[in-house]
Amino acid sequence: MKVFKKIKILLDMIKFEHTIFALPFAYLGAFLAARGFPSLRQCWWILVAMVGARTCAMGFNRIVDVPFDAKNPRTKDRALPSGKVKPKEAWAMVIIAAILYFWAAYELNSLAFKLSPIVLATVMFYSYTKRFTPLCHLFLGLAIGIAPTAGWIAVKGSVSYLPIILSIGVMFWVGGFDILYACLDEEFDKKIGLHSIPAKFGRRKAFWISGFFHAIAFGCFVAVGILAHLNWIYYLGVVITFILLVMQRIVVTPSDISRMNMAFFTLNGAISIVLFVATALALIIV
């Protein structure tokens, strides 16, 4: 029972349920590559790779951020700074997750395996970017935005411009909502010397920059539909995505960020699912 309790704490620590942000986009890339359903084998190893990579990256992030999390009133009760999880336990999770990730990449194809160290290094590097650049939000976007291209490579064993455009869209979408989320730590970041768009430019300008990022993301999503010759079902998903992006700016404003968790988790989780479902249906229902 103690083991299961510890595993639950570890999964809570890395917000395991937030894998939903990236996983649908990995499958979106895979479905585009297959022009329909990938094989069950490919779907399984994509799942293992995504869970492994994200668990490894998030666990690493929690470990290296302990000095800052311990000082931040919003994060001081997290598992590592509060002592609920020991550093060696967190490191064990990171190592096991990395092994699963590399195993999955090996099972998919040679290109996926060759690129796997670069991909993992990229998603782990994000953890340090807030120390030296306010563009850290785009580094997080890149870490998650790799997912569609990775899904494409998992199926095709090669890369193309189409998943890269989708990855750029995901990068700016993630970067845009991460700017909003960083507003919660604006004052703390200034005090401690960490970098973020809100800390550098203030909350009001940060909202404008976030909106600009989301406009780029929306343009990329439209471009994917055109280049992939997807039907009206996909564009319906894009329209719903636009509505969800607008709703974020109704739920949170520069003067009221009290409902940030709803905007960050609920609405953005819905966006990734909506775009995946719309793409899958558009490819299946011709």
249 contacts 176 by C-beta, under 8 angstroms: no
Taking the C-alpha atoms of residue 36 and residue 39, their distance in angstroms, rounded to an integer, is 10
Contact, 258 vs 238, CB < 8 A? Answer: no
Paired residues of 253 in beta bridges? 256
Q: Which of 69, 225, 210, 93 is nearest to 140 (CA)?
A: 210
pTM of structure: 0.92
CATH number of 271's domain? 1.10.357.140
Is the CA virtual torsion 110, 24, 135, 191 positive or negative? negative
Mean pLDDT on 224-243: 96
pLDDT, one tens digit per residue, over 120-156 is: 999 999 989 999 999 999 999 999 999 999 999 999 9
Write out the residue range of the structural domain in which residue 269 sits: 2-284
SS3 assignment for 242-270 = HHHHHHHHHHCECCECCCHHHHHHHHHHH
Question: How much is the mean pLDDT over the chain?
Answer: 91
Residue 256 β-bridge partners: 253
Look at the chain and report how many structural domains it folds into. Answer: 1
